[in-house]
Amino acid sequence: METLLNVMLIRFAVLAGCLVVAALLLFTVALTLKRRGKLDDVRRYTDPAAKAALRAAARRLEGRTSATPRSRGRGGR
């Protein structure tokens, strides 16, 4: 049991570490773009893609209910 808990703790630590590194990289890129004056250009180019992704995620979550499993909406496969 102790080994299982250690493995789960290590897995959580690795996942949390990856999220922290990703956040730091994103912050560094945003700061670099802001200092060079290109942040507004990047926002203008990525805004339509971000809105489309949010709409797609909303549509996907809108059609799903907690009582029905995922496979039933696809013909039982």
| Tens digit of each residue's pLDDT, the chain (77 residues) | 899 999 999 999 999 999 999 999 999 999 999 999 999 999 999 999 999 999 999 999 998 766 555 555 555 55
**CB of 25 within 8 A of CB of 33?**
no
Those residues with Cβ within 8 angstroms of residue 30's Cβ, 6 or more apart along the chain or in another chain: 39
Sign of dihedral through CA atoms 13, 17, 20, 22? negative
User: Residue 1's pLDDT is what?
Assistant: 85
